[in-house]
Amino acid sequence: MEADLGATILAALDGKRPMAPITDSDAGFGLDAAYRISDAVMAARIARGERPAGWKLGFTNRTIWDEYGVHAPIWGPIYDRTVIHADGGAASARLDAATFIEPRIEPEIVLSIARPPHAGMDERELLGCVDAVGHGFEIVQSIYPGWRFRAADTVAAFAMHGALVCGPLTPINDPEPWLDSLARFEMSLLRNGETVDRGVAANVLGGPLKALRNFVAGLGERPMARGIEADDLITTGTVTRAFPVEDGETWTTRLDGLPLPGMTLTFARAS
């Protein structure tokens, strides 16, 4: 059953064909089944040549839980084909919004894993498993029309992941300043030069390291075929609200309290 549902969901993504949430026809569909489907989808994507490159955490921002009707974090794999590195000094990139289904933008903090963490680690120990920190834009998308779903639906549907545009990764040479700054930074999100939202580290379950701790514990309770591996990127959840995007828009961020550059992402139709 999981493999069949996984194939249906993957076909909806590939064909950009929206589908009704699974919970519309199966009210008992829950997170345990959803993560099994996520595993089936990951196996199918690996079989066709995609390589897992890390994890996205979703709904770690408690300020948007009521907006989506989801009241707990989720997670899912990201892939080499969905990660775009914007490593230049300007930390800028371009995407075609039309390649996604009802896309929205989320500014996030990205952690680069040096060695796999395990459940029970405190934040200092978790930071010892991280060799670099970056800032990125995650583009989330919904195969469910109008972004109407329950938590289990989102897990089954790639945790809503579309793409991760990751800026330069800054090595952690001295962990002490990062422990404080990752819990206290602020971020502004601008569309075409106008600020549309501001967020703080605490929005993300108290900070990215707390979000990572929650994920490690959750993955331990619901293990998947692939765990957290060295060189994984983990995107820790949107610091601001998520906003719909369209071609013709330019989105930028400004960070205060972290030694990371802001980013610029322009949406334009591919020529």
- pLDDT tens column, 171-201: 999 999 999 999 999 999 999 999 999 999 9
Give 119's contacts (C-beta < 8 A, 6+ positions apart). Answer: 216, 217, 220
Mean pLDDT within 233-262: 97
Whole-number average pLDDT of the chain = 95
Q: Does residue 1 have a pLDDT over 70? A: no
Judged by DSSP in three states, 81 sits in: coil
3-state SS class at 162: strand
More confident residue, 66 or 125: 125
pTM: 0.96
Residues 6+ apart with CB under 8 A from 216: 117, 118, 119, 121, 126, 228
Is the predicted pLDDT of residue 72 greater than 90, yes or no?
no
Question: For the chain, where are the alpha helices, taking DSSP H only?
Answer: 2-15, 22-25, 31-47, 65-68, 123-127, 151-156, 175-184, 208-221
Q: What angle do CA 139, 141, 147 make, to 5 degrees?
A: 130
Main-chain phi, psi angles of 156, to 5 degrees: -65, -35
